[in-house]
Structure 1
Amino acid sequence: MTGPRVAIGGFMHETNTFGPSKAGLEAFVEGGGWPSLSEGPALINATRNVNMGICGFVEAAEAQGWDTVPTLWCAASPSAHVTENAFETITNQIVDGIRSVGRLDGVYLDLHGAMVAEHVDDGEGEILTRIRDVIGPDVPLVASLDLHANATRRMFDMADALIAYRTYPHVDMAETGRRSALYLRRLMSGERDAKAFRQVPFLIPIAWQCTSVEPGRSLYARLPALEERGIGSASLLMGFPAADFADCGPSIVVYAPSQEIADKAADDLLRAVAEQESAFSGRVYSPREGVLHAMKLADSASRPVVIADTQDNPGAGGDSDTTGMLRALVEADAKRAAIGAIVDPLAAIRAHEAGIGARVRLSLGGKSGIEGDAPLEADYVVESLSDGHLTASGPFYGGARMQLGPSACLRLGDVRIVIASRKAQMADQEMYRFVGIEPTKQAILVNKSSVHFRADFEPIAEAVLVCAAPGPMPVDPAALPFTRLRKGMRLSPNGPFFN
């Protein structure tokens, strides 16, 4: 007798509706630091041994002897809206794939939870609805979500379970896939839980959503404790606070043996988050302040001081090409400093044409039209070249095979710059090494990332600083020009109300 027949697929995008560039179909074909778009059986091999939800789910399904039916899986770097063409093309392929396979015992989707398309605000809600229309009300439908998901009532209603990551940096993405498989097994055996959904009434800046420090550490410690006491599944979603639609923001999802138990657990979690509202904050430096402080710390440090260039985080919709932090390093005459990655395909091509050792005049970065930002024109030395292929082996990417296109290490003074042709968040030490920069030997490292870099860089860091150079993802979401949030939502912890 064969095991349960389960369709699997995935469509992942975190949308910053204020970002400078949209995600077309080609962005998902390329993958943006993740495996490229894969269909049918190829998606299993493409995502195997990578820290992704679908990888963990497939491993658990294989261990239980399930018959998995792969449809399509893809991901792209966060950006502005997913284009209508990309959304419809990818969604239709997943839905048609599920429709075509006949009898199913369950469906699993690897989703992000904060996708906004040009024509659909609630991307995941639309995907789940279309799949529910195909499979009917009785086939269990489970989706794993990013911790930053902006969960909606429609998503909650359409899925039998939404199960979210519990770490930021997301070192548990594959583990969340495994937890999703275990919960789907319960559903396919006939068990059903009552469920509860709550939305938190304030936005949380992503720089302070980290789960390795307070208050995130204590809040997320509550979730496994609840499950040890009989709750089927509990998720706290911090939300992605740069999506201009009504359901942007944190939420709580609980599945439990009775409605009373589910409601109590959800209300207790909501109260716990509210009690920690003031704790979602931290010190933010200007570029000059941050660099000067890092240089002072570096004078007596044996390890690099790491700076987060948080407002141009490509993991939050930035184009990874602003020059504010680079200017600050150069103007302060920083020594043994490195920054990465600045995405500038033309500069990368020029560097390859010039060759190693050449000095080349470039107008570097600053192409995304961010207010207060501009290209940095100077004579750069080409120190090394790369085709952009690397394996990011740190705990966040977890073995992802990246293709960043023509890349190089440029030097300006004693500042080394990783330049690439395609964007991916600077969250792995290999993203310096692939162009010949050894991160552990630098005095200062500036990473275009908000929190994910911490997983691989905190172990080698003397200190971690957060700087706010011009970029599309403000540290404080209250600085964003929202027009469509739900009434009464606060734009930051203890911040102003949306009106």
Structure 2
Amino acid sequence: MKIAVGGFHHETNTFAPSKADFDAFARGGAWPALCRGDALFESVSGVNLPVAGFIDEARAGGHQLVPLSWAAATPSDRVTEDAYERIVGQMLEDLAAARGLDGLYLDLHGAMVTEHHQDGEGELLRRVRAIVGKDLPVVVSLDLHANVTPAMVELADALVAYRTYPHVDMAVTGGRGYRLLATLMSGRRLAKVRKALPFLIPLTSGCSFIEPAKGLYESIDERERVPGVASLSFAAGFSPADIWHCGPTVLAFGEDAAATEAAAEELYQAILAQEKGFAGTIMSAEQAVAHAIKVSATAQRPVVLADTQDNPGAGGNGDTVGLLAELVRQRAPRAVIGLLFDPAAAERAHAAGEGATIEIGLGSHSGLPGHEPLRGSYQVKKLGDGRFECTGPFYRGARMELGPMALLEIGGVEVAVASRKAQLADREMLRHVSVDPEERGIVAVKSSVHFRADFQPIAEQVVVAAAPGPNPVDHLQLDYRFLRPGVRLMPTGPLSQGPKQ
């Protein structure tokens, strides 16, 4: 069979401080840079990405692959109209030029909002169908945090989402997508079911390492084995996307319509029964640091603090210094925090050299109200070029391009600084600047959950801290203007009142 392959990823936090322009996709960073044609195969090879998993399985099946383009940018505010139209334009140009296709696979996120479209993926699929027609089998893999819209379900023949958060099964999900496409290319068609849940799920409580998400995701394999059911997914949604269809969904696809509907309904009811468990708890920055200091005094392993509200993986800029300031104020021993996004500070450190002391205001350059840089004297302890390969389960195989990096120290606390945004979810991000995280008493990470894949195995405890930032755990702090009415803003919480004028 002849299969076209492409992808376009962005997780949009519409409350975040900066947008994703074309350069955010073109320059790369944590994930490969924008690539087109045969360069796609080399760029994603060996990386934990759905498109890589799909390619491996499709090649093993003896199929001919036609590469389109693949692009991803760090989560942020909306994708600019210019970036969207340029990237989608080149993808569709190559799709239109392909002849004799038997199928199409797209590696999408599912929570992309653009300056001109609430549903970036639905609009892309609408344009795809205008080119390939209604009969070509189209399968899409989605992030676990997809906000799955009716248009996405209507325009794709099947959708399949990750089942782990941290997303250690991205490549595996691409393989599931391949098997669905193979079913469709054999001439069979699948019934579709989409069920939207009535509450938003905070990122930190959707982790599949902890309950209730753990048990729910682990149950999907068994629920999916019902005869006539081909695929079952629970997309937890991405709550900081202020759009009509924001929120979690259950998706099911299968040859037996009744069995597919029943499987979706059973999973839907199981999730509803666990709603209260998704509420979660969180400490303030002051409480979290004090707790970490107390535990680390006698622990043999580090306490890991998650600076979740400035997570670059959820739209934060990674530049707030609230948790850093608290670590310094409480004189936290053997503490390190990262990655702090500050290209100017990294440049100053490289100009001064290792061992030098520089007077700077670190961080808080995004212009968020009430945020100020942490000014003081910083010792430059180590420099790096930001180029390294990750080895942890989440970023496995990713070839980082984070620009000049520096390890600075202020008040006995170390800060790993980078010139490009990326959540600290792999120990190599610290090792690159000569920090062995296992040797520190406290490791603070700008991440919500993905860090757990590589850091939880070495942690004495994991503590989630609510330091100031643009990605609040409590959705009641967000001013939703486009969310549909009747959705509970937090599990068991108050209802959305619908779009505002």
- Is TM more than 0.5 here? yes
Which of 80, 84, 108 matches 1:111? 108
Q: Distance in 2 between matches of 1:436 and 1:221?
A: 37
Which of 64, 82, 87 matches 1:85? 82
Q: Deviation at 1:282?
A: 2.6
User: Helix, strand or coil: the match of 2:141?
Assistant: strand
2:137 matched residue in structure 1? 140
Q: Distance in 2 between matches of 1:258 and 1:189?
A: 16
Q: Deviation at 1:218?
A: 1.1
Consecutive aligned runs of 4 or more in structure 1 exceeding 4 Å deviation: none
Q: Distance in 1 between matches of 2:196 and 2:100?
A: 35
Instruction: Indicate if the aligned counterparts of 1:32 and 1:75 stay in contact, CA closer than 8 A.
Output: no
Instruction: Indicate if the aligned counterparts of 2:383 and 2:406 stay in contact, CA closer than 8 A.
Output: yes
Equivalences for residues 57-206 of structure 1 within 5 A: 57-206=54-203
Question: 2:3 aligned with 1:10, yes or no?
Answer: no
Q: Distance in 2 between matches of 1:343 and 1:478?
A: 27
Question: 2:388 aligned with 1:401, yes or no?
Answer: no
Instruction: Indicate if the aligned counterparts of 1:9 and 1:73 stay in contact, CA closer than 8 A.
Output: yes
Q: Distance in 2 between matches of 1:356 and 1:406?
A: 13
Which of 232, 238, 263 matches 2:236? 238
User: Helix, strand or coil: the match of 2:219?
Assistant: helix
2:431 matched residue in structure 1? 433
Range 484-493 or range 364-373, more displaced: 364-373
AA aligned to 2:156 is A
Q: Distance in 1 between matches of 2:389 and 2:374?
A: 30
Q: Deviation at 1:478?
A: 2.1
AA aligned to 2:16 is G
| Residues 266-311 of structure 1: per-residue CA shift (max 9 Å, x gap) | 1111111110000013331111111010000001100000000000
Q: Deviation at 1:256?
A: 1.9
CA-atom RMSD, angstroms?
Answer: 0.8
Question: 2:29 aligned with 1:32, yes or no?
Answer: yes
| Residues 252-275 of structure 1: per-residue CA shift (max 9 Å, x gap) | 110122222222111111111110
Q: Deviation at 1:240?
A: 0.3
Q: Deviation at 1:216?
A: 0.6
| Residues 107-127 of structure 1: per-residue CA shift (max 9 Å, x gap) | 000000000000011000001
Equivalences for residues 365-404 of structure 1 within 5 A: 365-404=363-402
Instruction: Indicate if the aligned counterparts of 2:217 and 2:234 stay in contact, CA closer than 8 A.
Output: yes
Q: Distance in 2 between matches of 1:318 and 1:371?
A: 14
Q: Distance in 1 between matches of 2:113 and 2:280?
A: 29
Q: Deviation at 1:20?
A: 0.2
1:355 matched residue in structure 2? 353
AA aligned to 1:40 is G
Q: Deviation at 1:198?
A: 0.6
Range 76-85 or range 130-139, more displaced: 130-139
Equivalences for residues 214-225 of structure 1 within 5 A: 214-225=211-222
1:484 matched residue in structure 2? 482
User: Helix, strand or coil: the match of 2:378?
Assistant: strand
| Residues 439-467 of structure 1: per-residue CA shift (max 9 Å, x gap) | 00000000000000000000000000000
* Unaligned ranges ≥5, structure 2: none
| Residues 363-408 of structure 1: per-residue CA shift (max 9 Å, x gap) | 0001112233210000000001111111111000011000100110
User: Helix, strand or coil: the match of 1:294?
Assistant: helix
Q: Distance in 2 between matches of 1:285 and 1:51?
A: 32
Instruction: Indicate if the aligned counterparts of 1:111 and 1:144 stay in contact, CA closer than 8 A.
Output: yes
Q: Distance in 2 between matches of 1:82 and 1:319?
A: 15
Percent identity over the alignment is: 51
Q: Distance in 2 between matches of 1:493 and 1:243?
A: 17
Which of 294, 297, 300 matches 1:296? 294
Q: Distance in 2 between matches of 1:61 and 1:72?
A: 17
TM-score, normalised relative to structure 2: 0.98
* Unaligned ranges ≥5, structure 1: none
Q: Distance in 2 between matches of 1:384 and 1:221?
A: 42
Which of 263, 282, 288 matches 2:280? 282
Count of residue pairs the alignment pairs up: 496
AA aligned to 2:426 is D
AA aligned to 2:387 is H
Q: Deviation at 1:95?
A: 1.0
